[in-house]
């Protein structure tokens, strides 16, 4: 639904529901969406038809981070990596968006595999992504690891960046390894967590963002008071009244339904994706990519009886073209490792963009050059 409030609250989460780390939308992203909302009001049928006919191909890099070389430790087999990649192209097919898998990396590092997604772990996250990230700001990097805190995934909204700065490095999505097709996360193991999170990476909010009085800023997604739990046989209507037409969009990828229940993006959401893409990511296509020098990662594991030192390395896997799925067992991780990782990177800076016309249009003021 198209509607905005000044501050979007952190929504209470259902115990057995999908849990995403993107509950709060940054103010700058809210402002951009508000501007696109104004522009959408001026859009006619021809504009929407043009959106429906548009296509986009996104370079994609998968990074599998595990605590050891076992499936239990998070080391996904090639078959599941391929199945996840195919699921993304399946889910985004009707939007005209497709993904090209450029590289798959595998890293064994207990600290990187098990750190919690919170402000206290940002330094660990930054170190991990600085070592692994590939491509420009228009390239998608997905980090598969055994997330804690009950999270299925978390992703970064598009913003203004300079090539190689901290915001650039932290870009991308973190996704629970057990959520891939055939994974061990019951009801959320058809690969649609990645679809949901990449929706955020492309600029989409939750359909229930802000409740009935809030909204995701998209006109053709009905208002929704709270996230869907499970897969109801009939669509509930949690926002009633003539000002809230339609029932809850439980089949939308940006809700919290079970994977089996989710299968669509709306045309309005597709337009919003292209709005954000053109504004934030498209200018970086074909731009310079940072030069990365990776050193070995030293992991020391200590138990009560022995001390073992190993030196794992980051490896790359050729692009996979076969399609398959596998069944996994539930992963458990015990933090008994201290890890020291040294990574150097020499980014090639690009000049900061000038104040864009849309910003002037949004606030009605502009500074002369």
Q: Where are the domains of the chain?
A: 27-358
Task: Tell me what pLDDT residue 279 has.
Answer: 93
pLDDT in tens, the chain (369 residues): 533 332 333 333 333 445 665 555 556 566 555 555 555 555 666 666 777 789 999 999 999 999 999 999 999 999 999 999 999 999 999 999 999 999 999 999 999 999 988 766 789 999 999 999 999 999 999 999 999 888 999 999 999 998 789 999 999 999 999 999 999 999 999 999 999 999 999 999 999 998 998 788 898 999 999 999 999 999 999 999 999 999 999 999 999 999 999 999 999 999 999 999 999 999 999 765 554 444 334 333 332 333 333 334 455 544 443 333 333 333 333 333 334 343 333 333 333 334 344 433 433 333 333
Rounded to 5 degrees, what are φ and ψ at 65?
Answer: -115, 125
How many residues can be counted in the chain? 369
Task: Tell me what pLDDT residue 265 has.
Answer: 97
What is the maximum span of the chain, computed from C-alpha positions, in angstroms?
71
Task: Tell me what pLDDT residue 326 has.
Answer: 36
Report how far residue 166's alpha carbon sits from residue 155's, in angstroms, rounded to the nearest whole number.
15
Q: Which residues are catalytic?
A: 197
- Could you tell me which CATH number the domain at 27-358 has? 3.40.390.10
Task: Tell me what pLDDT residue 338 has.
Answer: 38
């Amino acid at each position: 639904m198209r509607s905005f409030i000044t501050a979007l609250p952190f929504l209470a989460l259902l115990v057995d529901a999908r849990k995403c780390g993107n509950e709060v939308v940054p103010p700058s992203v809210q402002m951009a969406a508000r501007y696109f909302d104004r522009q959408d009001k001026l859009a006619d049928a021809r504009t929407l038809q043009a959106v429906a006919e548009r296509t986009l191909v996104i370079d994609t890099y998968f990074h599998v981070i595990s605590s050891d070389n076992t499936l239990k430790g998070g080391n996904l087999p090639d078959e599941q990596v391929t199945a996840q990649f195919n699921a993304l192209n399946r889910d985004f097919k009707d939007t005209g968006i497709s993904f090209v898998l450029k590289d798959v990396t595998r890293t064994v590092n207990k600290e990187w595999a098990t750190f919690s997604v919170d402000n206290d772990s940002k330094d660990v996250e930054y170190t991990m992504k600085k070592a692994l990230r590939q491509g420009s700001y228009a390239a998608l990097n997905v980090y598969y690891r055994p997330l804690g805190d009950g999270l299925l995934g978390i992703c970064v909204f598009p913003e203004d960046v300079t090539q190689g700065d901290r915001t650039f490095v932290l870009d991308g999505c973190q996704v629970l390894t057990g959520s891939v097709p055939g994974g061990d996360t019951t009801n959320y193991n058809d690969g649609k967590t990645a679809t949901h999170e990449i929706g955020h990476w492309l600029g989409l909010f939750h359909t229930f963002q802000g409740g009935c009085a809030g909204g995701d800023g998209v006109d053709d997604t009905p208002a929704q008071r709270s996230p869907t739990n499970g897969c109801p046989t009939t669509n509930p209507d949690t926002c009633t009244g003539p000002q809230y037409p339609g029932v809850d969009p439980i089949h939308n990828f940006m809700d919290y339904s079970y994977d089996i229940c989710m299968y669509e993006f709306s045309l309005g959401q597709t337009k919003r994706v292209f709005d954000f893409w053109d504004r934030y990511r498209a200018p970086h296509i074909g731009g310079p990519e940072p030069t990365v020098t990776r050193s070995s990662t030293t992991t020391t594991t200590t138990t009560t009886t022995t001390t073992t030192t190993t030196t794992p390395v980051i490896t790359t896997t050729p692009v996979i073209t076969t399609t398959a799925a596998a069944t996994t067992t539930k992963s458990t991780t015990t933090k008994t490792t201290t890890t020291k990782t040294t990574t150097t990177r020499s980014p090639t800076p690009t000049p900061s963009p000038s104040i864009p016309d849309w910003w002037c249009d949004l606030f009605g003021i502009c500074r002369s050059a």
